[in-house]
Amino acid sequence: MKSLLQYSSVSTMAQIHLTRTLLSHLLLTFLSLSTAAHIPAVIVFGDSTVDPGNNNAIPTILRSDFPPYGRDFQNGKPTGRFCNGRLPTDFISEALGLPPLVPAYLDPAYGIEDFAKGVSFASAGTGLDNATSDVLAVIPLWKEVEYFKEYQKKLRKYVGEAHAEYIVNEAIYIISIGTNDFLENYFAVVTGRILQLPVDKFEDFLVSQAAEFLTNIYRLGARKISFAGLSPIGCLPLERTTNVIGKGGCNEKYNRVARDFNAKLQRMIADLCTKLPGLRLRYSGVYDRVLQLINNPSHYGLENVEEGCCGTGKFEMGFLCDSKCPLTCPDANKYLFWDAFHPTEKVNRLMAGLTLSTGLREFI
């Protein structure tokens, strides 16, 4: 394995201190959940990081409802989650005393009696830009909002107007989206956005789209919202593989874009909170957390942070990551990434705990 480069200006001692602090917060969070305020539901919007299987129900090639996806899930069942097991939202739901799985809205195995406690409208491959969802024919973000409206009608019929309003207002909303806008859309050239806008203006456009989306769900009743920033997208295995000039290291250009976007996203979030009465919108900083795993893998029991567990770990995702891959690793817990784009269940569990102890802390 190539030696890890240090992509953070934080000293090693500071990183160790931060690691211990975060783990302490995580422990305290889980110890306090038994006395936490009641959260009636977890409601999710976004992309493959939080899609539990909505893409199974639409005509797209971007799917994961086949082995080895779900290898470490209940009974080894592939559900459409782009992971070997559960997603961060599943762990968050369980920690809040809700069901251990947040179901996909389009999964026919579930109904409104399940969705009343948690539901995900997310679609793998989607983005803040409608052009992103067109690339692989997935559900655009505006359609996720339409599903949310439809859900509320069903909810009112199921529990009544007053209780439906309570669920919608008191639920925790988790938003995870944006990576595909850059890696599948802008830098992939296919939509032509890169010819229309310089990257900083594209960032501004995406932030404006995020603000419009957040305002829309606020008007529909959402109040307690966690919005995840981008991770170091240049360190995804697929981006390392294609970074020939950088000799397989992280693509620092992409990482810089992620940091710039995150800064703009945080300013927008602060602005919205001053404009929309009662909105409790919080930023979830994923970037530094993932960077910690990359720079200090042994602290978390990880051995490989450069490649995915599935296949060669360099480019496999979706249908390229299937049961015929002879090189798939035997123990995903040693890996940061499951495929060339998505984290393992172990990392999803860790990220869920950190989200609970930081961005969602005041809600519980």
Q: In the chain, what percentage of residues exceed pLDDT 70?
A: 90
Tokens 């890996």 belong to 335
pLDDT of residue 164: 98
What pLDDT, in 10s, does the model give residues 135-193? 999 999 999 999 999 999 999 999 999 999 999 999 999 999 999 999 999 999 999 99
Q: Are strands 304-308 and 280-284 parallel, antiparallel or unpaired?
A: unpaired
> Mind listing the pLDDT tens digit for each residue in 185-226?
999 999 999 999 999 999 999 999 999 999 999 999 999 999
pLDDT band with cut points at 50, 70 and 90 for residue 358: confident
Q: Is 90 a catalytic residue?
A: no
Structure confidence at residue 38 (pLDDT): 87
Question: Tokens 């720079």 appear where?
Answer: 295
Annotated catalytic residue, options 123, 133, 339, 357? 339
In the predicted model, what is the mean pLDDT of residues 314-343? 94
Residue 37's pLDDT is what?
57
Sheet holding 118-120, edge to edge: 118-120, 42-46, 172-176, 224-228, 280-284
Q: In terms of C-beta density within 10 A (0-12 exposed, 13-18 middle, 19 or more buried), how is residue 266 classed?
A: middle
Check whether 32 has a pLDDT greater than 50. no
Name the catalytic one among 64, 284, 342, 357.
Answer: 342
Peptide bond into 68 cis (omega under 30): yes
Q: Model confidence at 355, in pLDDT bands (50, 70, 90)?
A: confident
Please identify which of the residues 48, 64, 93, 176 carries the catalytic annotation.
48
Q: Which helix or strand (DSSP H or E) is residue 226 part of?
A: strand 224-228
Annotated active-site residue 357? The verdict is no
Percent of the chain with pLDDT over 90: 83
Band the pLDDT of 28: cuts 50, 70, 90.
Answer: very low
Residue 18: per-residue pLDDT: 45
Catalytic-residue membership of 342:
yes
